[in-house]
Structure 1
Amino acid sequence: MSAHIGYAAMLERFPPAEAVELAALAESHGFTGVMATDHFQPWMPAQGQSSFVWSVLGAVGARTRGDFGPGVTTPGYRMHPAAVAQASATLAAMYPGRHWLGLGSGEALNEHVVGAYWPEAPERINRMFEAVDVIKRLFAGSLAGRDVRHSGQHFKLESTRLWTMPEVAPEILVAASGPVTARRAGRTVDGFITTGAPADKLAALLTRFGEGAREAGRNVSSMPKVLQLHLSWAATDEEAMRNALVEWPNGGLRVPRSDIRSPFEFEQLARTVRPDDFEGRLVVSADPDVHRAQIQRCLDLGFNRIYLHNAGRNQAEFLEVFGRDVLPGLRA
Structure 2
Amino acid sequence: MTEFGYFLSCEEHGPTELVEQARMAEQAGFTALWISDHFHPWNDRQGQSPFVWSVIGALSEAVSLPVETAVTCPTVRMHPVLAAQAAATSSVLLEGRFRLGVGSGEALNESVLGTAWPEAAVRLEMLEEAVQIIRRLFEGEEVSHRGRHYTVQNARLYTVPDQPVPIDVSAFGPQAAEVAGRIGDGFITMQPEPEPIERFRRSGGGTKPVTAGLKVCWALDHEEAVRTAHRLWPNDQLPGELPQVLPTPAHIDQASSLVTPEQVAEHVTCGSDTEAHVASIRRYVDAGFDTVYVNQMGPDQQGFFDFYRTKVLPQLAG
Q: TM-score range by the shorter chain?
A: over 0.9
Is 1:310 equivalent to 2:296 in the alignment? yes
3-state DSSP of counterpart to 2:54: helix
Is 1:51 equivalent to 2:50 in the alignment? yes
List runs of 5+ in structure 2 lacking aligned partners: none
* Structure 1 residue 116 displacement after superposition: 1.1
Q: Which residue of 2 aligns with 1:242?
A: 227
* Structure 1 residue 33 displacement after superposition: 1.3
1:156 corresponds to which of 151, 158, 161: 151
Q: Which residue of 2 aligns with 1:265?
A: 251
List runs of 5+ in structure 1 lacking aligned partners: 215-219
Q: Which residue of 1 aligns with 2:35?
A: 36
* Structure 1 residue 295 displacement after superposition: 0.6
* Structure 1 residue 268 displacement after superposition: 2.0
Deviations 1:250-295 (A, max 9, x none): 1222352111111111222222211332366422342022111111
Amino acid at match of 1:291: H
Cα separation, 2, equivalents of 1:170 and 1:194 = 19
Cα separation, 2, equivalents of 1:169 and 1:281 = 38
Instruction: Give the % identical residues.
Output: 39
C-alpha contact 1:251 1:282 (8 A) present in aligned 2 = no
C-alpha contact 1:254 1:277 (8 A) present in aligned 2 = no
C-alpha contact 2:216 2:270 (8 A) present in aligned 1 = yes
Q: Which residue of 2 aligns with 1:326?
A: 312
More deviation in 269-278 or 93-102? 269-278
2:204 corresponds to which of 205, 210, 213: 213
C-alpha contact 1:57 1:69 (8 A) present in aligned 2 = no
Cα separation, 2, equivalents of 1:252 and 1:288 = 23
Cα separation, 1, equivalents of 2:267 and 2:223 = 18
3-state DSSP of counterpart to 2:244: coil
3-state DSSP of counterpart to 2:299: coil
C-alpha contact 1:16 1:51 (8 A) present in aligned 2 = yes
Amino acid at match of 1:125: L
C-alpha contact 1:9 1:34 (8 A) present in aligned 2 = yes
Q: CA RMSD in A?
A: 1.6
Cα separation, 2, equivalents of 1:38 and 1:312 = 18
Q: Which residue of 2 aligns with 1:217?
A: none
Is 1:166 equivalent to 2:161 in the alignment? yes
Amino acid at match of 1:250: N
- TM-score normalised according to structure 2 size: 0.95
* Structure 1 residue 74 displacement after superposition: 0.6
Deviations 1:173-220 (A, max 9, x none): 01100122112211222001111x3x4xx2111010110126xxxxx3
| Counterparts of residues 52-201 of structure 1 (less than 5 Å) | 52-140=51-139, 142=140, 146-195=141-190, 197=191, 199=192
Cα separation, 2, equivalents of 1:331 and 1:294 = 15
Q: Which residue of 2 aligns with 1:225?
A: 210
Amino acid at match of 2:204: A
C-alpha contact 1:251 1:281 (8 A) present in aligned 2 = no
- TM-score normalised according to structure 1 size: 0.91
